[in-house]
Amino acid sequence: MGEVSQEISTAIKALKYSDEQIRLLDFDSGKELYFKLLDWFVKSGDRRWWWEDFKQESFDFPKYEKPFEQLIKIIPDADKNVWLMVEDDQEDFYQIYDCQPSIIGKLIGECFGFEYYVIDKNKDWLICENHHNRLIGLGQRLKERNMDKTK
């Protein structure tokens, strides 16, 4: 298990989250989904930082001090589970969790810093926070819902 994956596992236990709130996909399902999402969102194939080469036009959210705390205000349909994908270069691919949006901010706040992607299960939108604390979005629905919050 990679360092980021271990950090998340420790945070899940500390926050007493249930499998209904967050569940790591098994290896085969996670790997298959990772490569489907990669193909859908990234032009140049497998790369460490997806945000450098999105297929769709991206947009920025204002510089928040702690962007992860703003996610619940930004995510469309915050009552529907999303994919939470975390960068962990010690893993074969980025780990993906089936996750309730309402817990993501607290979960990430419990951990050391890492890049993550919050992805709509229909692939309609994506939000990521990179190592520059830049919050980046993709998808018309996400942009329309957050017109007052984007640049």
Which pLDDT tens digit goes with each residue over 28-83?
A: 999 999 999 999 999 876 666 777 778 888 888 877 788 889 899 999 988 999 99
d(CA 81, CA 9): 18
pLDDT digits (tens, 9 = 90+) for 92-146: 889 999 999 999 999 999 998 888 999 999 999 999 998 888 899 999 999 988 8
Residue 59, beta-bridge partner list: 137
**Both tokens of residue 110?**
């419990």
- CB count within 10 Å of CB 64 equals 16
Based on the structure, what is the number of domains in the chain? 1
**Residue 48: per-residue pLDDT:** 66
- CB count within 10 Å of CB 33 equals 19
Residue 16 falls inside a structural domain:
yes
Instruction: For 92-117, give one letter per residue: b (16+ CB within 10 A) or e.
Output: ebbbbbbbbbebbbebbeebeebbbb
Residue 34 falls inside a structural domain:
yes
Print the domain residue range for 89.
3-42+57-149
Residue 8 falls inside a structural domain:
yes
Residue 77 falls inside a structural domain:
yes
d(CA 43, CA 94): 17
Residue 132 falls inside a structural domain:
yes
Record the pTM. 0.91
Residue 9 falls inside a structural domain:
yes
**Residue 98: per-residue pLDDT:** 98
Residue 97 falls inside a structural domain:
yes
Query: What is the maximum alpha-carbon separation in the chain?
Result: 40
Rounded to whole angstroms, what are the CA distances from 147 to 57, 125, 140?
15, 14, 10
Residue 50 falls inside a structural domain:
no
Residue 38, beta-bridge partner list: none
